[in-house]
Amino acid sequence: MKNIIYFLSLTITFSLFSQEKITDSVQGTKQNLDEVIVESVRVKYSSPISHSNVSKSDLSSKNLGQDLSILLNFLPSVVTTSDAGAGIGYTGIRIRGVSAQSTNITINGIPFNDPESHGTYWVNLPDFTSSVESLQVQRGVGTSTNGSGAFGASINILTDAISNNPYAEISNSVGSYNTLKHTVKFSTGKLNDSFEFSGRLSKIDSDGYVDRAYSDLKSYFLQGAYSKGNTLIKALTFGGHEKTYQSWSGVSKEQLLENRRQNPYTYENEIDNYKQDHYQFHWNQKLNQKWSTNLGLNYTYGRGYFEQFREDDSIDTYGGILVSDIDQQGNKTGTTDLIRRRWLDNNFYILNASANYKTSKLNLMFNSSYSTYSGDHYGEVIWARNFSKNSSLRDRYYNGNGKKTDFSVFAKASYLLSNKLEFYGDLQLRNLNYKTSGITSDLVNMLIDQSYSFFNPKFGLSLTHSPASMFYGSYSRANREPSRSDYESNINIKPEQLNDFELGWRFRKNGLRLNLNAYYMLYNEQLVLTGELDDVGTPIRTNSGSSYRMGIETEASVKLSEDFLINTNLTLSSNKNEQVLSKFDGKIFDFGKTNISFSPEIITSNSIVYSPNDRLMISFLSKYVGKQFMGNTDAVNSILDSYFVNNINFSFNINSNQIFDQIIISGLVNNIFDKEYVSNGYYYTYDDTWSSPGQVKTLDGAGYYPQAERNFLIGLTFKF
């Protein structure tokens, strides 16, 4: 505890405060045509919503191969993790303790969350950071957006803006665990003052910190744009192909102590192999000084499988396509060795349309969105010791389908009631239907036909006290449907509802910037993580009845001189289930008021930035995450210890008049003090019969995802 107090009192915490620079339209300066694509889902500086803006320059010095989610690690209330331990491959992000399944993510206003699982898998878009122009993170419910609702945060991303001038760029980086990243970018610049074509190709390889947890990642981004007068048209496609070796099962406590880098899986092709392609079309038209419209179309095609070796697996789970092994005595064992693949093949279509009306006092936005999704889930056996007479290689042992339609409309407005007082209102109606057919991987019929209608109102006021100071308050409601895996775990699962109250103060004067935000998030049937995983590593969730999250988020930025900048953020929170009923020793036990899983009470970060000129930047970064529980019963074995990690980031620009316009050397040394820490895990309970007949004892266990010790990445970029 003394170390925590010492850290909080003597270390100034970090918030990438350059993200609060007034750099785009939502911050009050002149708007360019690219930014109107995301205007319907972003908020401006004076809005009564807690948010952070991240620009391309904020990300560039750290963009050396790690996932975008890892690069957001130092934002307020954020905790990130990596299955393979080094930030490449499968990664995760939680904001205010809420999992990525409840974080709404859009790319150019188009939903990125998978409609069925609600997940966001950045591994499917490797090196996507290289094509990000800017992004905004909204904490809490935030503003209305497209896709499923936000229960912890929303992240809306704008991809590369139109470049007026032609350029080419080659970036390469190397690092620990045989990490290699290669990126090529280009733009034609504006041709005939109207057309621009640009693109990117990327390749990332890494062995991972965890043994054999390698990543083989490829991605692309291509864009054609037309911009003239009051018209902007963009057509773009981007996607990726990932092959990652299985590391989502983590290690036990004993394995962690024995060798924290070990991977219990040894089959050479125990991999996830998945491709995802996105096609988008955007048309923005300014009709006059007050009216503008925007049309967005999207098609996403995903397909791939997870391959797995199964030793002595029960033949009963394969629908009769396999024949049992015979033991030495000639008896059937009921099991066999096999290799299986579990496939997902999906199609996702989206139509967004919006209209914007602006005057000196009123900014009014109308938006509608319609999407349809179809996902095939099936499994096949690609090798087994014995197939039955009527079966053969690649026969499917389960086959199911999920279809989802989602229609929403929202209207939002900000209105200046006076020179100092601004009203914000936002009303959303959302209607969806989810229908399934076929059987699951457990050979269970899954027949769901469920419709939901949600009404999500949001209101707020902003008061400008002085040119440097403003206060705000807001109330927002959000409703969210269960995911496919939620239904698989409990067919009677309920949708969750959130009432979010926010109160804040923003201050800007000279070299000082302060943000103070208090929140109270009151949930009904929140879908909280139980701590357990299903057989493909998906976190299991359950309804928790009444629960709440309340906390204070503070940010500060102090410019000590022209060379030194100190930034800070700190989140203190309380996250509670009002009552938890769970099976214990064969009976339902009331655990009373407990901590919500994966919700640390303290999250704080630090940055000291030294930049003597425009060419050199050195940052010392620190991150502290407090103790967490991986379950909801406050069990001792479910505790995930606190950790404190420090990094160094630098970049050095060399201007050249020769072949290259600019040469940039950048580097990142993570965990410089070589700490052994764990950022994520899972927790499970099971019943064991006592030696006394008829009695049952509840036992528990845990798995852990160890993160890398001291490691580095260094990059070299040539621009011409």
| Range 445-449, long-range pairs (CB < 8 A, 24+ positions) | 446/400, 446/487, 446/488, 448/487, 448/491
Tally of domains within the chain? 1
Write the pLDDT tens digit of every residue in 256-305: 999 999 999 999 999 999 999 999 999 999 999 999 999 999 999 999 99
Q: 387: which DSSP letter?
A: B
Read off φ and ψ for residue 26, nearest 5 degrees. Answer: -70, -10
Query: What is the pLDDT at residue 536?
Result: 80
Please give the structure tokens belonging to residue 714: 């260094």
Confirm if 352 and 369 have CB atoms less than 8 A apart. yes
Q: 254: which DSSP letter?
A: H
Give the confidence band of 686 by pLDDT, cuts at 50, 70, 90. confident
Give the confidence band of 149 by pLDDT, cuts at 50, 70, 90. confident
Instruction: Pick 18 or 66 by higher pLDDT.
Output: 66
Question: How many Å from the N-terminal Cα to the C-terminal Cα in the chain?
Answer: 52
Give the Cα separation of 89 and 42 in Å (integer).
29
Sequence-separated (6 or more) residues with CB below 8 Å from residue 389: none
pTM recorded for the entire structure: 0.93
Give the Cα separation of 160 and 185 in Å (integer).
11
Give the Cα separation of 293 and 286 in Å (integer).
6
Query: What is the pLDDT at residue 173?
Result: 97
Give me the domain span that covers residue 427: 2-719
Share of the chain above pLDDT 90, in %: 84
The neighbour count for residue 109, using CB atoms within 10 Å, is: 28
Give the confidence band of 31 by pLDDT, cuts at 50, 70, 90. low
- DSSP lists the bridge partners of residue 684 as 701
Give the Cα separation of 91 and 65 in Å (integer).
12
Write the pLDDT tens digit of every residue in 394-453: 999 999 999 999 999 999 999 999 999 999 999 999 999 999 999 999 999 999 999 999
Rounded to an integer, the average pLDDT of 319-327 is: 92
Task: For residue 579, give the CATH number of its domain.
Answer: 2.40.170.20
Is residue 697 predicted with pLDDT exceeding 70? yes
Sign of the Cα torsion 317, 320, 322, 328 reads positive
